[in-house]
Structure 1
């Protein structure tokens, strides 16, 4: 599944743009986290202006209507050129989890209301599913939506929500019929100015510190009926659609990060001399470089295989789980190898090597843990057999 010449050009142009314009003062911003909105929003707007956020949108909403494969190529280039893994994750999170869901399930009026802003960066969107007592059991929701005249009243709390502290809109999943379980879940678009809707402060976390993460609180929050996405009870289907896209492609830029990481390691291993020779000539280091390249290429193959399936309109639940599982764990393994290759220098914050490892570890949790992906794969293999 080689990339076309056009897709290679898209990827390389995105890489060059990102290298020249994004990720400045990253060490200092990583220390500060996402509390300084100016730091984060500046690069976010640059990403929007370049077209990363709108690549998948129809032309009538300000997009480029690119194929999935071409969009993935461009986002891989973003990761190759930008060392800010938090920023690249945030971009992918909005593109694949929020914008994709609204694009697919919105009415024409809803699409015209929110898609242009999501594409041009004037709107930041969050995907509000996770709760304190749900997590991997995604549909064990306690957030409720009670039908009232003209709309719904939402009550509940969401946690660990990407972009929540800065979001202008949130795709919130709530139970309209608790007795029906996942078939009683509905999806709503909540806006930042809605009374009773509160965005939490950015959480302090191990890695991906430049990407704001936090909670959402809804206390007697009235949401008009025209902000119900799909129909009542469609929330489960909307979430499953969204999470399949997210698992397939949220690592598009992190594959680019793995390529950047390998290039950095090859350069260092060729320059660093120990016992009178470059460390690349020592078998243990050479083996690590070879393993890093192997993981990068297998990750690319899985990423673009999933993209081709989506371009053909094929369902890919198992492929999504395998892609997310493989790339997330490959990024951790490559980041660990990069740290070992760099030795003491890699342990120091100024090199950025240790930051990649901290950033990579989050990938085995968000979007469904590695254990959940294995459970999805094994359940499909068993086909419901006891």
Structure 2
């Protein structure tokens, strides 16, 4: 693996970082995405970074895409907005790009990449969170397509979605081939979207419930083949677990920079905070977790770009980055003390935003199970 960045990668990262710092403000506290912000993300190339250029994307591989999300995670003070972009790209645009037929890609992807539409991944159900193999939502074959019936919960971007990538059971007795993936347009009859949930963090990425009631989906909107839903989902999760968490690498770097700036300026008991070993040790641990998790993430991206097996690498990366983000944000709050606890400085928001990373895309315990399985345990 080459550890250095090419001049093109450095220039792309620096441009994205500067744009993120200049263009976007902290979250307002209200659930939702400002249309102007979403269009700006499209114009800056984030929403279609890994999609082929002929469909409006940037055509970047996993590592280059991750570097863009790392830059935005570091520079954009609204982590929920960056997360919404990542969910849109990795869990929705990439399954369509990799498994949709040509007319479907031509119809949906250009608007998704440009920020003219918002996409949401509807997989989780009220009784099927980590156990995605047991979906109660059904897709019944009818003339020309399928009728979808069921309820999806915790749908990130769901309240605003124009396109829904969803999964439903088509053959209950088919085991691994029981589930089929679909790309469904929001204007389709039979779709009901609930109000945004109240959440601990990432409020700019609204999440809610989506209901399908005799929702007819044409057969040409199946992603892949009937019964291939598990394959589609796992591939989208590999993109998500690998590249999405780059935004949390960027968040960790921002926190390290801000904490260092604080301790260099702050004094207590007549001494600079940098003279207190208990303080500097916390910052060293923040930096250690940042760099360790960054290397695991880059390696997972490298394997994805080489089309090599990467279940172990992506699970290790996801686990390390998400846990490091929570630990780093906690340390930042402790070092900043009272200032860290106040909303006006943004450190408590970073902590709230980081907690979700240990839950979505497979909880930390699920990642540990994947790692154990890959080790033959």
| TM-score above 0.5, yes or no | yes
Q: Which runs of 5+ in 2 are unaligned?
A: none
Cα displacement (A) at 1:237: 0.7
Distance apart, 1:4 and its partner CA: 2.1
3-state SS of 1:189 partner: strand
Asked whether 1:160 is paired with 2:154, we answer yes
Partner deviation per Cα, 1:250-308 (whole Å, 9 max, x = no partner): 11112111111110000011111101111121001100111111111112111111111
4+ runs of 1 displaced by more than 6 Å? none
1:305 corresponds to: 299
Q: Distance in 2 between matches of 1:158 and 1:211?
A: 17
Pairwise mapping of residues 365-384 of structure 1 onto structure 2 (< 5 A)?
Answer: 365-382=359-376
Q: Which segments of 5 or more consecutive residues in structure 1 lack a partner in the other structure?
A: none
Checking the alignment, whether the CA contact within 8 Å between 2:167 and 2:180 is kept in structure 1 is yes
Counterpart-to-counterpart distance in 1, 2:376 and 2:61: 33
Question: Are the aligned partners of 1:11 and 1:75 in contact in 2 as well (CA < 8 Å)?
Answer: no
Q: Superposed, which structure 2 residues align to 1:166-245 within 5 Å? A: 166-245=160-239
Aligned length: 375
TM-score between both structures, scaled by the size of structure 2: 0.97
The answer to whether the Cα contact below 8 Å between 2:69 and 2:244 also exists between their aligned partners in 1 is: no
Which whole-Å CA distance do the structure 1 matches of 2:31 and 2:236 have between them? Answer: 27
Q: Is residue 167–residue 181 contact of structure 2 (8 Å, CA) maintained in 1?
A: yes
Q: TM-score, normalised by structure 1?
A: 0.95
2:44 paired with 1:86: no
Moved more, 325-334 or 41-50: 41-50
The counterpart of 1:6, out of the listed 5, 8, 19, is: 8
| CA-CA distance at 1:228 after TM superposition | 1.2
Q: Deviations over 1:322-380 (max 9, x none)?
A: 11000000000000000000001110100110010011001110000000000000011
Query: How many angstroms does 1:3 deviate by?
Result: 2.1
SS in 1 for 2:204: coil
Secondary structure in structure 2 of the residue aligned to 1:178? coil
Which of 4, 15, 33 is matched with 2:31 structurally? 33
Q: Give the Cα–Cα distance (whole angstroms) in 2 for the partners of residues 64 and 374 of structure 1.
A: 33
Alignment check: 8 A CA contact 2:63 2:243 kept: no
How large is the Cα RMSD of the aligned pairs? 1.2
CA shift for structure 1 position 75 = 1.5
